[in-house]
Amino acid sequence: MIFSHNFFVDEFADVRHGGALDIYLEANQRWQTSSKVIPQYQPSIDMPTRLDLHDIHFMQNNISNNYGDAKYTVVGNARDIRDGKLDPNTLPVVGVWRDTRGKIWTVDHRRLAALILSGKVESVNVRWVEKHEVDRQRYKMSTLSEGNFMYLTAKRKQSIIVEKPGMDDLSVTSMSGKNLPRYKVRHTPPEIKQTQWQKSEEKTTMKLEEIFFSTTLATSNKAIEQAKALRAGADIPVLRIWEDSNGRTWTIDNDSLAALRLAKYNGFVNVRSLSKEEYEAMKIEVDSQTGGRSYVIPQDQGRSALVVHK
């Protein structure tokens, strides 16, 4: 999938999501049912008829933005719910089931995705499906994240991440614990390179949430080690930043920004604005595949990854 920043801005920027990744696998991304450990159905008696969204997991690894009848889209429904044009309580209830570990899964992925992306819904009415319905839909069990997130693919095969509410970072692994095929990150489209240094007011502090990653892929585990040190009381790092013509603030200290997020730090951080001379001398070029919103830290020799969101 080729990620276009313009497409991201036009289609997805106004709905809540977990970022957009331009990652593809060298091998088939879907594992065959026979090669996975499939959760076993647990009969559900006297179960609640309403659940918090963060308690429900995805069976599927990816879904299409379009519904089967082509009249509605996931993102369209999410916007309508957010804008008050669609009452989420008028939608059909979300089908769920429980496995023998007590984990709850959905069989209605697009409906659940629309509710999550709207950013307006915290809980949902559910119906507990029978074993025969789960058996009929076992082919959907393709998650690579233990059901914590899935990809929503729209036109031109571009995707965003739909994640369970409350997820701070995600480890991408198969359900059986097997290593995933090595992934690659494609080159950044020209549009995202419109991020050159622009003269702006010099800053010394900023809100962490206002700073963007300037690259997608980490080259080491430095961010993880730094996060451990921060949790142990290490000093908060100073982030070197610059502002582009659109008013976005980028950092070249991507590992430090990721470490702060992994350490669950919130609030203001000390920053240092790069001068034009420094910026040009470093030959800085933004190559983020997610509009600066996510940072991928390869694990296990690149067979899996930790995804850190801004």
Task: Write the pLDDT tens digit of every residue in 254-267.
Answer: 999 999 988 888 88
Domain shared by 160 and 47, yes or no: yes
In a domain, 260, yes or no: yes
First to last CA, the chain: 22
Is the predicted pLDDT of residue 290 greater than 70, yes or no? no
Domain shared by 51 and 161, yes or no: yes
Domain that holds residue 233: 190-309
Q: Please report, to the nearest 10 degrees, the dihedral formed by the alpha carbons of residues 134, 137, 142, 146 taken in order.
A: -20
Q: For 77-115, how does the pLDDT look when each residue is reduced to its tens digit (9 = 90+)?
A: 888 998 899 999 999 999 999 999 899 999 999 999 999
Domain boundary (133, 167, 201) is at 167
Output the CA–CA distances (angstroms, integers) from residue 126 to 81, 108, 148, 166, 182, in the order listed: 18, 10, 18, 20, 37
Domain shared by 158 and 201, yes or no: no
In a domain, 180, yes or no: no
d(CA 206, CA 268): 5
Which residues, in sequence order, are bridge partners of residue 272? Answer: 240
Number of domains in the chain: 2
3-class DSSP assignment, residue 114: helix
Q: For the chain, list the strands marked E by DSSP.
A: 23-25, 41-42, 50-52, 56-57, 62-64, 94-99, 104-106, 123-128, 149-153, 159-163, 169-172, 183-185, 205-207, 211-213, 239-243, 249-251, 268-273, 294-299, 304-309
Position 86 scores a pLDDT of: 93
Q: For 112-154, how does the pLDDT look when each residue is reduced to its tens digit (9 = 90+)?
A: 999 988 888 999 999 999 999 998 888 888 887 778 888 777 6
Domain shared by 20 and 87, yes or no: yes
Domain shared by 46 and 154, yes or no: yes
In a domain, 199, yes or no: yes
Domain shared by 158 and 207, yes or no: no
The answer to whether the CB of 310 falls within 8 A of the CB of 248 is no
Domain shared by 155 and 245, yes or no: no
Banded model confidence at residue 169, pLDDT cuts 50, 70, 90:
very low
Give the burial class of 81: count Cβ atoms within 10 A of its Cβ; 0-12 exposed, 13-18 middle, 19 or more buried.
buried
Which residues, in sequence order, are bridge partners of residue 187? Answer: none
Is the predicted pLDDT of residue 287 greater than 70, yes or no? yes
Domain shared by 40 and 146, yes or no: yes
d(CA 184, CA 23): 6
d(CA 283, CA 297): 23
Domain shared by 63 and 21, yes or no: yes
Which residues, in sequence order, are bridge partners of residue 136? Answer: none
In a domain, 182, yes or no: no
Domain shared by 121 and 242, yes or no: no
Position 270 scores a pLDDT of: 95
Q: For 60-78, how does the pLDDT look when each residue is reduced to its tens digit (9 = 90+)?
A: 888 888 876 667 888 888 8
Domain shared by 305 and 159, yes or no: no
Domain shared by 122 and 206, yes or no: no
Average pLDDT, the chain: 76
Is the predicted pLDDT of residue 191 greater than 70, yes or no? no
